[in-house]
């Protein structure tokens, strides 16, 4: 294919490639329809997601307390968020705009402010048809779930071997073993494993058996752990010991990557429940040490604090067993995505995954990928223009190759190494 000879044609090709490329969503919290109410979807779930609950209590009147809110039925909670965040204040936040983007993509007139009519539309949908529609609107070919065997309501669906839509791929969540060993040990002991609140060699051995047997059930893409900002490795604390004695041996035996999402401070405001989590600056040296000490284990990493982004990129330049992915949670706004993506392109080329949705509510995949594509197109158009001025003349096939790499291709190549 002929290389582009003018900057205008090049920019159009870049934007077209980003709009048309399939994205692999490598980290979500979705479930298959067969798992019942674990799969969250619909306008009430969108409105009561913790992003918007946190915003509600920034603008709600003082008499609306968290205790009163949580006592409300889900529908009333949604109406309360709609009233205060959308009608009495402009939904200018990323989460607010995201709801509007998703609803309008589904053909609903969110600007008409008719919440009852929107609810009626969702009530008429069949989830088995609605889920593929949402993926198509998002341009997502497949998504990786997060599956936690330490949660009984999840485990029973997997134990029953219920069908899973082929576009959904499991990931085995392991962070209870790392961040809350006593609670994880209790679950494992209840399943017949010899684990106790006090870690021991025998307990570690049975924890390994537990995870391996669950991996056999799930056939996961990777092992997943959400970690606090004070995670250190190596260290003598219970978290580092669990990683060394359980997680790394399991990853090595199964040949699975360990995905680390680092930097969340849990429950800084417990009254807000999931909306009460915050962010902390983590120690990227822990990632560096894990990669250096375990060259035969692959690691995926994303960090929650903007402060840590450059250091993580530099770490990925030094270790071929590390793959950087996504703009997670508080970094998933357009301004942060643009900054982080520019920095990664400048340091890593296309050897990273630009974003993941982290969706817990199905329709979030629509807005998160729509908004990501807009930012990615702007950043790539700028970078290709710089490359063009420097004297390089890319072809359309090369552009599409690079875009696909950023939207899942680099992740697939990393897994195949």
For residue 179, is it within any domain?
A: yes
d(CA 90, CA 84): 9
Which tokens is 4 given?
A: 């582009």
For residue 136, is it within any domain?
A: no
Q: What is the DSSP letter of 86?
A: I
For residue 65, is it within any domain?
A: no
For residue 72, is it within any domain?
A: no
d(CA 266, CA 287): 20
Confirm whether pTM is higher than 0.75. Answer: yes
For residue 70, is it within any domain?
A: no
User: What are 361's strand-pairing partners?
Assistant: 40
d(CA 67, CA 69): 5
- Helix and strand counts by DSSP (H, E) for the chain: 20, 10
d(CA 195, CA 197): 7
Selection from 40, 35, 85 nearest residue 358 by Cα: 40
Q: What domain range includes position 160?
A: 7-38+141-416
Task: Provide the domain count of the chain.
Answer: 1
d(CA 221, CA 146): 10
d(CA 213, CA 134): 33
Q: Give me Rg for the CA atoms of the chain.
A: 22
pLDDT score of 354 = 98
d(CA 131, CA 128): 6
Q: Around Cβ 129, how many Cβ atoms within 10 Å?
A: 9
pLDDT score of 5 = 81
Write the CATH number for 191. Answer: 3.20.20.140
pLDDT score of 316 = 98
For residue 46, is it within any domain?
A: no
pLDDT score of 353 = 98
Q: Which residues contact 218 (CB under 8 A, 6 or more apart)?
A: 147, 158, 170, 172
**Burial annotation 372-386 (CB, 10 A radius, 16+ → b, else e):** bbbbbbbbbbebbee
Q: Around Cβ 285, how many Cβ atoms within 10 Å?
A: 12
Q: What is the pLDDT along the chain (417 residues), one digit of tens a residue?
A: 678 888 889 999 999 999 999 999 999 999 999 999 999 999 999 999 999 999 999 999 999 999 999 999 999 999 999 999 999 999 999 999 999 999 999 999 999 999 999 999 999 999 999 999 999 999 999 999 999 999 999 999 999 999 999 999 999 999 999 999 999 999 999 999 999 999 999 999 999 999 999 999 999 999 999 999 999 999 999 999 999 999 999 999 999 999 999 999 999 999 999 999 999 999 999 999 999 999 999 999 999 999 999 999 999 999 999 999 999 999 999 999 999 999 999 999 999 999 999 999 999 999 999 999 999 999 999 999 999 999 999 999 999 999 999 999 999 999 998
pLDDT score of 373 = 98
Block residue for tokens 């009147």? 61
For residue 89, is it within any domain?
A: no
Q: Which residues contact 24 (CB under 8 A, 6 or more apart)?
A: 140, 141, 142, 143, 144, 407, 408, 411, 412
d(CA 106, CA 113): 15
Pairing type for strands 278-279 and 264-265 reads: antiparallel
Which tokens is 68 given?
A: 């009163």
Length of the chain, please?
A: 417
**H or E stretch covering 264:** strand 264-265
d(CA 322, CA 258): 10
pLDDT score of 214 = 98
Coil/strand/helix, residue 53: helix
Q: Around Cβ 334, how many Cβ atoms within 10 Å?
A: 15
For residue 118, is it within any domain?
A: no
Pairing type for strands 299-303 and 278-279 reads: unpaired
Q: What is the DSSP string of 304-322?
A: S-GGGHHHHHHHHHH-TTE
**Residue 198 CA, distance from chain mean position:** 32
């Amino acid at each position: 294919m002929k290389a582009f000879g003018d900057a205008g044609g090049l920019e159009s090709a870049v934007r077209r490639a980003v709009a048309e490329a399939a994205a692999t969503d490598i980290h979500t919290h979705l479930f298959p329809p067969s798992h019942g109410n674990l799969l969250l979807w619909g306008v009430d779930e969108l409105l009561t997601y913790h992003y918007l609950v946190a915003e509600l209590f920034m603008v709600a009147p003082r008499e609306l307390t968290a205790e009163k809110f949580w006592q409300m039925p889900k529908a009333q909670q949604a109406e309360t968020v709609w009233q205060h965040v959308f009608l009495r204040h402009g939904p200018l936040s990323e989460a607010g705009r995201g709801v509007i983007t998703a609803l309008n993509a589904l053909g609903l007139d969110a600007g008409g402010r008719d919440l009852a009519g929107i609810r009626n539309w969702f009530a008429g949908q069949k989830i088995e048809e609605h889920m593929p529609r949402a993926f198509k609107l998002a341009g997502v070919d497949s998504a990786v779930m997060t599956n936690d065997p330490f949660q009984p309501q999840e485990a029973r669906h997997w134990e029953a071997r219920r069908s899973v839509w082929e576009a959904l791929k499991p990931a085995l969540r392991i962070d209870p073993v790392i961040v809350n060993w006593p609670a994880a040990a209790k679950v494992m002991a209840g399943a017949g494993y010899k684990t106790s609140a006090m870690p021991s060699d025998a307990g570690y051995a049975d924890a390994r058996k537990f995870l391996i047997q669950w991996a056999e059930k799930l056939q996961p893409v990777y092992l997943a752990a959400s970690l606090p900002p004070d995670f250190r490795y190596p260290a003598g604390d219970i978290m580092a010991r669990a990683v060394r004695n359980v997680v790394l041996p399991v990853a090595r035996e199964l040949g699975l990557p360990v995905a680390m999402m680092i930097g969340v401070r849990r429950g800084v405001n417990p009254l807000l429940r999931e909306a009460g989590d915050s962010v902390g600056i983590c120690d990227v040296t822990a990632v560096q040490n894990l990669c250096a000490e375990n060259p035969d284990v692959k690691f995926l990493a994303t960090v929650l604090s903007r402060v840590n982004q450059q250091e993580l990129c530099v770490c990925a330049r030094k270790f071929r067993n590390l793959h950087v992915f996504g703009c997670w949670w508080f970094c998933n706004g357009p301004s942060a995505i643009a900054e982080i993506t520019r920095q990664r392109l400048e340091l890593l080329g296309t050897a990273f995954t630009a974003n993941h949705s982290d969706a817990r509510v199905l329709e979030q995949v629509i807005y998160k990928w729509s908004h990501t594509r807009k930012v990615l197109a702007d950043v790539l158009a700028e970078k290709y223009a710089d490359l063009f001025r420097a004297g390089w003349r890319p072809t359309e096939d090369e552009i599409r190759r690079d875009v696909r790499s950023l939207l899942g291709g680099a992740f697939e190549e990393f897994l195949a190494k």
